[in-house]
Structure 1
Amino acid sequence: MSTVADKLARKSSTNTSAKQVRLRLVYVDFWSAVKLCFLAAVAVAIATIVMFFLIYLVLQGTGLIAKMDDFFKSFSDGSVTLSQFVGLPQVMAFASIVAILNLIVITVMGAIVAGIYNLAVKITGGLLVGFTSN
């Protein structure tokens, strides 16, 4: 089986002092991929919660929420206000729900990708990776 990587390796076979190794990735451990994706999802969840909090602080500091509250009061005769629905506890609760859903989705997607890669390796032969020591 002659691939582009094989041809490039033969062309660049000049005298180098560094040792070159070509390895083929033929298996991704399922549980390792799940654990790694879970840790990445935790980082994304923390970033999501912090992002929601900072956006709320910016909107509150600029007075945009108060202006939108006045806008909604003009339509609803003052009975429904935006501040009832957009307070810090509500925003943080929504951010937590989004973060938990992202955590679940990212972890499951990582598991699915690892499984699909392990199935695709049987057809394609794996990913050829070249390493060198300098």
Structure 2
Amino acid sequence: MYSFGVLVLEIVCGEKNREFIHKEHCNNLTGHAWTLHNEGRFLQLVAKCLSESINVSQVLRSTHVGLLCVQRRPEDRPAMTSVIVMLGSEGPLPSPKEPGFYVGNSTEDTRQSSSSNNELSITMLNGR
């Protein structure tokens, strides 16, 4: 699902995530889309070659669904059947959460990810 979300954002932006470089920050394409989403500037993500012929509501919806697909936690990402319904309808969409590989100020609860119990587990493999 994550890869599908990246693909949607790449189509809207007209650039590949791997090759995306923004001059003002070090985020990848998903991080940049997340920043624009939070600032209400979705349309700045649209590829310049598409800007004349876009359907604004479709671009906003596609970008929103793309962000839902790249959320940090896999259990927060929608199923493909839900994505198809979301893209084909005009109903309200859930708010996306922070994407994976985002390097900005995290809105997620950092206590959960930074806590550690320093346990070690060792698995012994036995051949047949």
TM-score range, shorter chain: under 0.3
TM-score by length of 1: 0.23
Which structure has the greater CA radius of gyration?
1
| Structure holding more helix per residue | 1
The answer to which structure, 1 or 2, has the higher relative contact order (CA under 8 A, 6+ apart) is 1
**Structure with higher strand content:** 1
